A and B are shown apart, each in its own frame.
Chain A
């Protein structure tokens, strides 16, 4: 029996995993992946089965926890945004070496166009060099179906599987047919070859040879995958390769009746035999893929002496920003003049429109921190403020113009320390509570060990704000963490980030920036969004 549900791509995958016997979901929040774990948390079946769904401190801990569950034979998922895979890269790459026991799916949600991210990296590259197979659903139904398929692939090949999502699938809803009978969970069982899970050189050399041999089998599985296929076409002047969501854009351009032979790729390694078959029947190839030219680059190779290949490398399709139905249609229209009717028909833009950038909410404590910080900084000659990832990155924008850097989770403290090492004074780090426990604590230990002249401000709003208010792992523990890492109690302060505390905050910031050593100031006020939600829940 099937039932129909309206689901985001993220939710469709999460439900697919639950219905396929999931035992543990692990994640750190990150747009556009957050709704996967949130869906598991809200699922009645997941609650009934006690499926693990607590947030982890960061993507690396999440990945390792999921790997531990897989070691014990149970099915696990771990989800993150694309840059989260950088944080989890060490266990991710090495999980190909240990292999998986229970089915393990690693979800990376890429964010081309950088709607809410600092870069456009394409997660498929990670899986390629780690020798891990990849699934890339084209729609919400495939996202649902690939959970079960991915677990089976993972268990049959004894290796984790990467599932790549993109913003326009993660955050788009469609009607999905779902199973009414969920599968049972796996019972506890241990790996057949326990040596493989101890990655010391003697074991790893043996395992790596096996992994390289398995890669050929993975390619064969891609070639027979139900998600990869050639859709026949009669116009052989062009063959189109479309991966993941790009397949939909090709179908959109031709109203579901593509006249050209079309290779749909949703499982990797790239199915070489299918590519060869397509190339053999067409005069030229157009590659449509979301993200970087991953397949296209393989087709062209270094010398590009094979069949004519069009795509992003020749800028026929824009190299940056997300793929759109417009960019795919325009590419075909440019290549073949008789398809000029496909050229997107945008009208004239309106004149009375200005940009409306996001901003910190009215009533947000980060605002008060920045107001006091800016006032305090006026007393110094050339202060530098090292920012971090979260709502407070918006402090870069007017009216605050308060931060000089924002790079990756936790980099505020470590960059401020490096700057202090270089002679910068004052060197200020501003970091949120969730980002601090994600990746700030280890950097703070470096600063403690050298008593670096750095002023760290932890702007604690008691939640993970930017992604919608998920539990923050350090709530109630920040002072103890700082003291435990060795921060001098005389230079550890807590203050409420309220408008009426402006003078106190300014004075505190000024005093600590004048101190020639490490200080930590925890400026605390609950996120206005979660405070409203809590007030509403209380009044019910």
Chain B
């Protein structure tokens, strides 16, 4: 098993929580994992990305070579597009459709969505709306993770156990909200 993932978004959106869940799941499955992220200045509302590599064999590089990315999981549509040139030819994109507009020259959202739709394998979902409906908009990253679940190479129950473990310290309500958002995202992918 080997999956190379780029997690993308805007500083503060919560991509590192997704990484934490996948890290926990990797430990539970006794898999190798490398996950590179950037802290500091770039976290202040700028674009952020994390390379996350999962494998049943040892992993050499912390960075994923160009053209070797299997999966882009993005909390923001334009941020998903930023990395599509790094995908393997049959690579997949799972992205939220909700733009995060904090710059004056954000491109035309219709054009962004059209460019995403033209990719060979893409799942677009309104992650925040889905999360709001079943739990809280704060769990939109878990809705996105749920939508990505079939493509990561980890069993759904291991991902759910990891969500429960990572959010466990924050109380039952937070765990339930995040699990509900995760399941709603998973259902969305399976029905679209």
A251 proximal to B (CB < 8 A): yes
Interface size on B, residues (CB 8 A): 51
Whether A171 contacts B108 by the Cβ 8 Å rule is no
Interface bits A327-368 vs B (CB < 8 Å: 1, else 0): 001000000000000001111111111111111110000000
Is A174 close to B, CB under 8 A? yes
A326 within 8 A of B: yes
CB distance from A419 to the nearest CB of B (A): 26
Contact status A358-B44, CB under 8 Å: yes
Interchain CA distance A158-B102 in the complex, whole Å? 54
The verdict on A352 contacting B108 (CB below 8 Å), with A6-B23, A256-B60 known, is: yes
Residues of A within 8 A of B38 (CB): 115-116, 167, 171
When C-beta atoms are compared, the residue in chain A nearest to B65 turns out to be A325
Q: Does B137 contact A (CB under 8 A)?
A: no
Contact B61 A353 (CB under 8 A): no
The 0/1 profile, CB within 8 Å of A marked 1, for residues 8-43 of chain B is 001100000001000110110000111111111111
B121 interfacial contact with A, CB 8 Å: no
Whether B46 and A115, one on each chain, are in contact in the complex, defined by CB atoms closer than 8 angstroms, is: no
Whether A351 contacts B33 by the Cβ 8 Å rule is no
**Stretch from B81-89, B142-150, B179-187 forming part of the interface with A:** B81-89
- Considering only CB atoms and an 8 Å cut-off, how many residues of chain A contact the other chain? 50
Contact of A351 among B19, B60, B115 (CB under 8 A): B115
Task: Known contacts A4-B27, A347-B86, A359-B102; decide if A116 and B34 are in contact (CB<8 Å).
Answer: no
With contacts A350-B115, A358-B42 taken as known, whether A325 is within 8 angstroms of B27 at the C-beta atoms is: no
Contact A358 B11 (CB under 8 A): yes
Measured CA separation A34–B43 after assembly (Å): 14
- Give the docked Cα–Cα distance between A179 and B146 (Å): 35
**In the complex, what distance in Å separates the CA atom of A538 from the CA atom of B63?**
39
Closest chain A residue to B109 by CB distance? A352
Pair A175/B27 contact, Cβ less than 8 Å:
yes
* A424: interface (CB < 8 Å): no
B34, A173: Cβ atoms under 8 Å? yes
Query: Does A186 sit at the interface, judged by CB under 8 A?
Result: no
B66 within 8 A of A: yes
- Assuming the A-B contacts A252-B60, A344-B67, A346-B67, are A361 and B35 also in contact, with contact meaning beta carbons closer than 8 angstroms in the complex? no
User: Is B47 close to A, CB under 8 A?
Assistant: yes
Q: Are A350 and B82 in contact (CB under 8 A)?
A: yes
Taking a contact as CB atoms closer than 8 A, the residue among A173, A325, A361 that contacts B33 in the complex is: A173
Kindly identify, within residues 205 to 250 of chain A, every residue whose CB is under 8 Å from any CB belonging to chain B.
245, 248-249
Q: Does A321 contact B (CB under 8 A)?
A: no
Complex Cα distance A168/B63, Å? 8
For A170, the closest partner residue in chain B by CB is: B39
Q: Is the CB of B44 within 8 A of A391?
A: yes
Q: Complex formed: what's the CA distance from A31 to B41 in Å?
A: 9
Contact of B42 among A116, A361, A467 (CB under 8 A): A116
Chain A residues, Cβ within 8 Å of B27 = 4, 6, 175
Chain B CB within 10 A, most for which of A4, A171, A350, A391? A350
Q: Once the chains bind, are A171 and B37 in contact (CB under 8 Å)?
A: yes
Pick the 5 closest A-B CB pairs, nearest first: A116-B40, A31-B40, A345-B67, A358-B46, A350-B81
Q: Give B contacts to A, CB under 8 Å.
A: 10-11, 19, 23-24, 26-27, 32-47, 58-67, 78-79, 81-82, 84-87, 89, 102-103, 105-108, 111-112, 115
* Known interface pairs A167-B38, A256-B58; 13 further A-B residue pairs with C-beta atoms within 8 A, sorted by A's residue number: A6-B23, A168-B62, A168-B63, A169-B62, A172-B35, A174-B32, A175-B26, A248-B60, A325-B65, A352-B115, A353-B78, A356-B78, A356-B102
